[in-house]
Amino acid sequence: MDREERKTINQGQEDEMEIYGYNLSRWKLAIVSVGVICTGGFLLLLLYWIPEWRVKATCIRAAVKDCEVVLLRTTDEFRTWFCAKIRLLSLETQPLSSPKCVANKVSNGHAVHLTENPAEENRHGMSKYSQIQSQQIRYFTHHSVQYFWDDTIHNFDFLKGLDEGVSCTSIYEKHSAGLTKGMHAYRKLLYGVNEITVKVPSVFKLLIKEVLNPFYIFQLFSVILWSIDEYYYYALAIVIMSIVSIVSSLYSIRKQYVMLHDMVAAHSTVRVSVCRVNAEIEEIFSTDLVPGDVMIIPLNGTVMPCDAVLINGTCIVNESMLTGESVPVTKTNLPNPSVDLKGTGDELYSPETHKRHTLFCGTTVIQTRFYTGELVKAIVVRTGFSTSKGQLVRSILYPKPTDFKLYRDAYLFLLCLVAVAGIGFIYTIINSILNEVEVGVIIIESLDIVTITVPPALPAAMTAGIVYAQRRLKKIGIFCISPQRINICGQLNLVCFDKTGTLTEDGLDLWGIQRVENKRFLLPEENVCREVLVKSQFVACMATCHSLTKIEGVLSGDPLDLKMFEAIGWILEEATEEETALHNRIMPTVVRPPKQLLPESTPAGNQEMELFELTAIYEIGIVRQFPFSSALQRMSVVARVLGDKKMDAYMKGAPEVIASLCKPETVPVDFEKVLEDYTKQGFRVIALAHRKLESKLTWHKVQNISRDAIENNMDFMGLIIMQNKLKQETPAVLEDLHKANIRTVMVTGDNMLTAVSVARDCGMILPQDKVIIAEALPPKDGKVAKINWHYADSLTHSSAIESEAIPIKLVHDSLEDLQVTRYHFAMNGKSFSVILEHFQDLVPKLMLHGTVFARMAPDQKTQLVEALQNVDYFVGMCGDGANDCGALKRAHGGISLSELEASVASPFTSKTPSISCVPNLIREGRAALITSFCVFKFMALYSIIQYFSVTLLYSILSNLGDFQFLFIDLAIILVVVFTMSLNPAWKDLVAQRPPSGLISGALLFSVLSQIIICIGFQSLGFFWVKQQPWYEEWHPHSDVCNTTRSPYWNSSHLYNETELDTHNIQNFENTTVFFISSFQYLIVAIAFSKGKPFRQPCYKNYFFVVSMIVLYVFILFIMLHPIASVDQVLQIVCVPYQWRVTMLIIVLVNAFVSIMVENFFLDMVLWKVVFNRDKQGEYRFTTTQPPQESVDRLGKCCLSWALGCRKKIPKAKYMYLAQELLVDPEWPPKPQTTTEAKTLVKENGSCQIITIT
């Protein structure tokens, strides 16, 4: 049954889940009800916390098809459980005017995505379920998405719009007419309201949810217990702390909800015009839109309320909400394959593939361009939470759990404390029974030990360091929307950088042009703005082939296009509607040169007249634009010079791509050499091409032609050379990262050789390092996929390279020899895709030394980050936010250099567009991580010290007093915890990295050694006081201090006669244990408050130093010079002065031993010899390999032994790989060799190396 009824929804997607069906069981409910009553409601809480138990305890398994409740489990590493109730949607709410109105294969609980033909849908739907009378659909809602039962696949599935399985042809043929009112009503019933609702929960709801947190329930239990035991003050203090914590938590949670709600609701409801089937235009609210509606985009623009595909006209859109990039983007209508010359009608529409034709929800349409008499129309493809904005909001509302070793270890640590508490619990019961204590007292005292062992202030203490780090980051202009990631940033050992705008200046400067005439390159020209060139096709291409637009009179668009257009000094005019009529309705945009550039004087008068006329009329209209596509690496336009019969096609883009689309005879023979010369110098090179179009191509045909029909058989015109300067701070920042053993990788959309050149200039690749280019070719004409290996310096001079010159890695006894073998891999996006698909076994090896990834599409950047994470790197990503969104989200620490403060695409956003934020973020991350360790270790010691104090006192049927607990927990612990977290980050990044988890050799040794020391000295004081000659069992009339004769006499003994000590608090053992333990808390706080190399030294943390001095002085004072009132409140008894001095000596020896063990033995000896290797060895190792992982295992063998015997496998995959590659004679591949994929075992990704001679 189990195996049979386990189904999977969202298969192959990020939110893939297993689904199980259950029906409510009355007898199980009855048993649970009894259990809830018997446990005083605790069972109910347990079932509330664990949905899996709740469903299994109250329901029985059933078929998913007929169940009442579904249990969902994610298939990722977290295996999170959710449950949802099945609901019924009735389709009988209103009779449909015609059977053809059924717009979906949805009936009686069955739904799939919209098909292309409404009539066909109706036929399927009605014939399939004609026998069933009731029209009810079974569905459930999970994370704001509705899943409907679909009988065709026998599973639940979410309702898809026109974004899947719909061809471009059908968008025009079957969906462009609009919907009838009946069809619209039917779809609205299924798709629901088109809005992204972020409900702000009421304060009461949030309060209940927060209070039912297991931690607060534990606190409530503790408070009740302490109140029964008359520890009123301490209970009150904890209640106040909890209330403050709950209120601050509620405030921040509600504030986040309100912010998100405001962000989403700003333009949630607008009035829109839609076209109906009979060409009627109806005005409706945007919340009533459904997929298939044809929406009219208003002339003055709007904020898009849904995702829609343009079928008519052009729009200028600001997509900063989605991408973080404020440059306006031009969106054109989707090509209509039915009128396309090549007829590629089978292509399926996809919002990602066709994003240049898709208007995304939440983006702002600034203005529209339309043709006379025609409206700008778009078909709604997705609504509500299915839209791109909806998915973004869902990812914020329901974030994926952050998997970090620290948090997993924290739970393990708490479990250990619970186990310790269990031992104390059993010990207390046995001890009390043996001493014949009352049952009520036994219960209270045994439960009390549990509340002591698990510290109630732990969560607040743990978050303090992160909160302080977040505040410090904000001061240096780094904003964070995911505070938990600050700790993870402390572990980063590899950072990927985008090139343009990140490592280099955002703006490109035009260095010059190099035109081609008669198949030969002319000399480079610096000035383009010249009379000679004004009517050349080269300048015409520069004037028209761009996506610039005027917004409120100001030219705006892509920075590269702007620089290019400004260089020629032309004027761009967006014609009015009346003017377009003059141009046969074809030219919304016109470009023309300034009058002074056109020749004004020639010898003949009549020629002057002609030229004057020319001056007045020489202008070019842009008829059709094919926007720049990063996948195609080019853009093109169709333009027409006013008065010409034939139109012109102009194209610009990546030189390699443009050359491949040109007639071979027009491309100069030395094209590759010239291009290589420029790219090696770090120039950004753009190629231009042109061709005259056939006269038969009319305006209507051009509007529907595919870009493939235009972009071929072109004439190569030459190159534009742009200079992209390195940012001033780039080399210094990269050097800091390299010194800290943090690898740097460049991921760019630019040319390969330009990227390699920039990598060398900025120090990412050192001058002596070799660069191996992996050129992968996909399978073709029956041949298998293969990789050709070249050297970057020798692409055109391959014969000059001798194979002996290649640094081949050999097995070295000494790691020092490996200094000479540094090499880097470089590849472009196409090669990367081929390698991912056909050479899976090579991917990890290439990730180990891959430094330059050029011509990478946005999704390939994300795949690269995943590939690096797969070999256990902690990956940071730094980009400008435009095409890096996916990678920024996927990386462990993504930092966007976008100016938008509230960029939702990235966990971190830097206000200043400089990569200097990266080392700052890593430093703060390391400081926050070390602070978390310090606090956790301190809280563990605090609970163990107090636990042991109480256990010792329980053995003589005593305990700590109410005010003693209060003094320790409030005056010492809280003050220490919140001040020890204030240490700022260390000013430099060091090569050493902090451990990633609590369960590591060094940290465990640190905690255990301090526990043993503290227990030892506490026991010493406890048992030694009993050996003193003056010792007696304390009673109110004890006078061991000889108070009548003592110079230190005070009146503290006077109250003893009148007050009864029912709990046996006052005795010599209690006083001794209280003083020694109070000092121990302060001693371990100092021992654990480490500074270098990750935080500033603790003496620079002034709040911590002052609070420490005040506490030390106060405790020392009341110990050596008793004050009656203080002794009375703290229930301390008078002990002889010599014993006070003895306690001081015990404390001093304890302090000396603790600090020596922690700061000398652990840091100087053990850390270097066992845990982390000596720094020099580590450095030598990492000169040829990625950064050394901080070693977490006790007794880790020295490095040479690990390399020699290789019995211990390093934890990180990349380290293990590095060790393997050291002894691999076939790696790195020799130049001029080819690696081929094996045909038979393709799925394994196996390959063989064939050397080409």
For residues 418 and 454, the answer to whether their CB atoms sit within 8 Å is yes
Across 235-243, average pLDDT: 78
What is the average pLDDT score of the chain? Answer: 77
Torsion angle defined by CA atoms of residues 394, 399, 400 and 405, in that order, rounded to the nearest 10 degrees: 170
Condensed to tens digits (0 to 9), the pLDDT of residues 999-1022 reads 777 778 888 899 999 999 999 998
Q: Does the structure show a pLDDT above 90 at 248?
A: no
Work out the pLDDT band at 60, boundaries 50, 70, 90. very high
The one-character DSSP state at 1052 is G
| pLDDT reported for residue 798 | 32
Q: Residue 718's closest CA among 755, 782, 675, 767?
A: 675
| 1065 C-beta neighbours (distance < 10 Å), count | 21
The better pLDDT of the pair 1058, 1096 is held by: 1096
By DSSP bridging, strand 294-296 and strand 377-382 are: antiparallel
User: Is the predicted pLDDT of residue 1181 greater than 50, yes or no?
Assistant: no
Q: Can you say whether residue 919 is alpha, beta or left, with left for phi > 0 and alpha for psi between -120 and 50 degrees?
A: alpha
Q: What is the pLDDT of residue 612?
A: 42
What is the structure's pLDDT at 813?
Answer: 35
pLDDT > 90: percent of the chain: 11
Hey, what's the torsion of the CAs at 367, 372, 373, 376, to 10 degrees?
-30
What is the predicted pLDDT for the residue at 1019?
92
pLDDT tens sequence across 1105-1161: 999 999 999 999 988 888 888 888 888 888 888 889 999 999 999 999 999 888 877
Q: Using CB atoms within 10 A of its CB, is residue 411 exposed (0-12), middle (13-18) or buried (19+)? A: exposed
> What pLDDT sits at residue 55?
92
> Using 50, 70 and 90 to split pLDDT, how confident is the model at 124?
very low
Average pLDDT over residues 819-828: 75
Spatial CB neighbours of 280, under 8 Å, sequence gap ≥ 6: none
Alpha-carbon gap, residue 228 to 1239, rounded angstroms:
77
Residue 506: its pLDDT value, please?
66
Cα separation of 935 and 928, whole Å?
10
Confirm if 17 and 76 have CB atoms less than 8 A apart: no
How would residue 5 be classed by pLDDT, with cut points 50, 70 and 90? low
pLDDT of residue 596: 67
- Stretch among 370-374, 675-679, 986-990 having the lowest mean pLDDT: 370-374
Write out the two tokens for 314: 């052009």
Most confident of 523-527, 546-550, 734-738: 734-738
pLDDT at position 373, please?
65
Q: What single-letter DSSP state applies at residue 983?
A: P
Residue 551 is which amino acid? I
* Residue from 722, 712, 721 nearest 659 by CA: 712
Q: For the chain, what is the radius of gyration of the CA atoms? A: 37
Residue 987 confidence class, pLDDT cut points 50, 70, 90? confident
DSSP string, 874-924: -EEEEE-SSS-HHHHHHSSEEEE--S-TT-SSSSEEESS--TTHHHHHHHH
What is the rounded distance in angstroms from the CA atom of residue 214 to the CA atom of residue 440? 26
427-431, 805-809, 1056-1060, 1208-1212: which has the highest mean pLDDT?
427-431
Query: What is the residue type of 210?
Result: E
**pLDDT band of 323, cuts 50, 70, 90:** low
115 vs 495, higher pLDDT: 495
Q: In the predicted model, is pLDDT for residue 868 greater than 50?
A: yes
Say if residue 484's pLDDT is above 70.
yes
How far apart are the C-alpha atoms of 33 and 913, rounded to whole Å?
60
pLDDT-derived band at 1174, boundaries 50, 70, 90: very low
pLDDT-based confidence at residue 1165 (cuts at 50, 70, 90)? low
Nearest CA to 362 out of 383, 342, 348, 379 is that of: 383
For 1063-1089, the pLDDT digits (tens) are 677 888 889 999 999 999 999 999 888
Structure tokens at 1201: 């032994």
Distance CA 119, CA 396 (A): 39
pLDDT of res. 597? 67
What is the structure's pLDDT at 505? 75
Sign of CA pseudo-dihedral 1236, 1239, 1241, 1242 = positive
**Amino acid identity, position 1188:** Q
Q: Cα(1154)–Cα(713) distance, rounded to whole angstroms?
A: 80
For residue 849, the tally of other CB atoms under 10 A from its CB is 20
- Residue 1150 and residue 1079: Cα distance in Å, rounded? 9
Task: Say if strands 554-556 and 549-551 run parallel, antiparallel, or are unpaired.
Answer: antiparallel
Active-site entry in 150, 293, 498, 884: 498
Token couple for 1230:
């020799």
Residue 616 is predicted with a pLDDT of 52
The answer to whether residues 158 and 191 touch, using CB atoms and an 8 Å cutoff, is no
- Integer CA distances (angstroms), 921 to 237, 488, 727, 907, 913, in order: 36, 10, 19, 12, 14
- What is the spatial distance between Cα 212 and Cα 208, in angstroms, rounded to a whole number? 6
Average pLDDT of the residues in 387-401: 76
498 included as an active-site residue: yes
Could you tell me if 64 and 19 are in contact, meaning their C-beta atoms sit under 8 angstroms apart?
A: yes
Using the structure block, give the residue that is written with the tokens 């005027």: 550
Q: Tokens at residue 901, please?
A: 């403060």
Percentage with pLDDT > 70 across the chain: 79
Peptide bond into 1228 cis (omega under 30): yes
- Do strands 1247-1251 and 875-879 pair parallel, antiparallel, or not at all (unpaired)? unpaired
Average pLDDT of span 49-55: 90
